[in-house]
Structure 1
Amino acid sequence: MGDIEYEALPENSSIAVNLIAGALAGIGEHTIMYPVDSIKTRMQILNPKPAAVYSGVANAFTRISTTEGVRTLWKGVNSVILGAGPSHALYFGTYEACKDIFGGNNTQGHHPIAAAIAGACATVASDALMNPFDVIKQRMQVHGSTYRNVIECARSVYKLEGLTAFYISYPTTLTMTIPFQAAQFSSYEYFRKVLNPRGNYDPKTHVIAGGLAGAIAAAATTPLDVAKTLLQTRGNSDDIRIRNCSGLMESFRIIYDQNGVKGFMRGLKPRVLSHMPSTAICWSVYEYFKWFINAQERKKLPDKFHLPQ
């Protein structure tokens, strides 16, 4: 039996395939690039302690590794692993379903609007599940964090700040991730079709398209990410104004008052450096497992899906 053209497989794969592939992609994406994400979080903190002021990504990596230990760069990764699997399964499952509904699976031409809308729908669903895990992750990433594990951190945050602490940043997260995912999905689908018009399974295409899409989306939404970090780590701040910050607009005012316009670009380099490869990894892992799982069904496909020898 000859090879099967990747795009000849049913474009809207079964929900089980999308969920499994999405979960594996999410875990791979977040864990591999986690140390860079930790550096990004620290560089976005307003009024950091002198020991947590870094001149760049390399300086941060060196100082954290030598003064606090390399393991510190991985602190809180368990929270990401616990949340990334199910949230990304929901993310990609929703994306594929919505893309099909909005006509994004039409093989003729580009469909950036359909992909963008599907991406927005996917992020609303997945962020609702992931947001508490992200709060815990960032609380454990900040300099001086004494939490020994995810459960201890979750209990402490809940006891001191209540349930709202886990969702105080959710509106801001959506304000950031909806345009982020819209830009990412539409860019990815565009670059994927430009680089690989035939639609064959091609890992190189997924890596390049994913990396470019991640870099574009990350750079464009950095100001919102700075605001999100402020809200999610407010309980660790010594600044009363930050501790009492209750929303996106107030966080913007604090950032501007303390750092001016440049404050909105805090952590830009590590954010792009983490999202570019992590998005490439995410899409590559997702597309691979989607192809691999579907490949197990090859013998069940009708002859029209088989390419000639």
Structure 2
Amino acid sequence: MLCWKSIAGGTATLIHDAVMTPAEAVKQRMQMFNSPYKGVLHCIRVVYKTEGIRAFYWSYTTQLTMNVPFQAIHFMTYEFMQEQLNPCRHFNPLSHMLSGALAGATAAAATTPLDVCKTLLNTQENLKLGMLKTKGRHLSGMLNACRMVYKLGGLPAYFKGVQARVIYQMPSTAICWSVYEFFKYFITQRQSQDLPASS
């Protein structure tokens, strides 16, 4: 059973990232300072015309590499916090929100270096890359991105934006876990009420 869950989770991550990596690439190019794109469709057209379809997937392997440890840390931290705050595992919205927020914050902070590399791959930051005289037109691959991040700013560069990433993830994972636990509680309660009637 655990094997099938692992396979299902891995397949879901592959499909999710295959769809979301291009969307993330477009979003990050739109967010660049002095972004040359007028809108989402303009960005897609220009990137496709000038860099090809591969440009939307420069960070795909990095995205996959980041999602595995992120989810592992996220779930382990949530379970650990629930053991501390809610060992009886009763429905407790406050403990679910707090555990979810801390799980998201921990996972986000730990995977920030990979997120920085992914952002560099997605945006290609031509000005900075040009200043360092990179070989070839595009930066590709996680190892190359890691090296480039170090060249651009040393070790502190790997944690650039860590506070913003943590602040973004905390409410997101707090809401996600509290809603999940609420529906789990609601469905369990309904099933337990329906059980005597059906017997």
Q: Please give the TM-score of this superposition, normalised by the length of structure 2.
A: 0.81
Task: Give the aligned residue type for 2:195.
Answer: P
Match of 1:214 among 79, 96, 104: 104
Match of 1:259 among 148, 153, 157: 153
Report how many residues are paired: 190
Task: Give the aligned residue type for 2:163.
Answer: K
Match of 2:126 among 229, 237, 249: 237
- The alpha-carbon distance between structure 1 residues 303 and 203, as it changes in their structure 2 partners (threshold 3 A), is same
> Where is the helix percentage greater, Structure 1 or Structure 2?
2
- Identical-residue share of aligned pairs (%): 46
Do 1:210 and 1:283's aligned partners in 2 also have CA atoms closer than 8 Å? Answer: yes
| 1:301 equivalent in alignment to 2:190 | no
* C-alpha distance in 1 between matches for 2:52 and 2:193: 52
Do 1:120 and 1:181's aligned partners in 2 also have CA atoms closer than 8 Å? Answer: no
- The alpha-carbon distance between structure 1 residues 136 and 180, as it changes in their structure 2 partners (threshold 3 A), is same
User: Superposition pairs for residues 85-234 of structure 1, below 5 Å?
Assistant: 101-102=1-2, 121=10, 122-234=12-124
Query: How far apart are 1:146 and its partner, in Å?
Result: 4.3
Over residues 31-66 of structure 1, what are the superposed CA-to-partner deviations in whole Å (9 max), with x where a residue is unaligned? xxxxxxxxxxxxxxxxxxxxxxxxxxxxxxxxxxxx
Do 1:127 and 1:170's aligned partners in 2 also have CA atoms closer than 8 Å? Answer: yes
User: Superposition pairs for residues 77-92 of structure 1, below 5 Å?
Assistant: none
User: Superposition pairs for residues 15-30 of structure 1, below 5 Å?
Assistant: none
The SS at the match of 1:143 is: coil
Task: Give the aligned residue type for 2:34.
Answer: G
Aligned to 1:91: none
Query: How far apart are 1:276 and its partner, in Å?
Result: 1.9
Task: Give the aligned residue type for 1:160.
Answer: T
Unaligned segments of structure 1, at least 5 residues: 1-100, 104-113, 305-309
- The alpha-carbon distance between structure 1 residues 206 and 124, as it changes in their structure 2 partners (threshold 3 A), is farther
* C-alpha distance in 1 between matches for 2:167 and 2:48: 32
Query: How far apart are 1:299 and its partner, in Å?
Result: 7.9
Query: How far apart are 1:266 and its partner, in Å?
Result: 1.1
Unaligned segments of structure 2, at least 5 residues: none
Task: Give the aligned residue type for 2:50.
Answer: L
Do 1:124 and 1:178's aligned partners in 2 also have CA atoms closer than 8 Å? Answer: no
* C-alpha distance in 2 between matches for 1:296 and 1:157: 51
Aligned to 1:278: 172
- The alpha-carbon distance between structure 1 residues 195 and 266, as it changes in their structure 2 partners (threshold 3 A), is same
Do 1:231 and 1:245's aligned partners in 2 also have CA atoms closer than 8 Å? Answer: yes
Q: Which has the higher contact order (CA 8 A, sep 6+)?
A: 1
Over residues 183-220 of structure 1, what are the superposed CA-to-partner deviations in whole Å (9 max), with x where a residue is unaligned? 10121123224322333222112111111111111111
Query: How far apart are 1:258 and its partner, in Å?
Result: 2.1
Q: Alpha carbon RMSD of aligned pairs, Å?
A: 2.8
User: Superposition pairs for residues 33-72 of structure 1, below 5 Å?
Assistant: none
- The alpha-carbon distance between structure 1 residues 258 and 187, as it changes in their structure 2 partners (threshold 3 A), is same
Q: Please give the TM-score of this superposition, normalised by the length of structure 1.
A: 0.55
- The alpha-carbon distance between structure 1 residues 198 and 228, as it changes in their structure 2 partners (threshold 3 A), is same
* C-alpha distance in 1 between matches for 2:80 and 2:196: 30
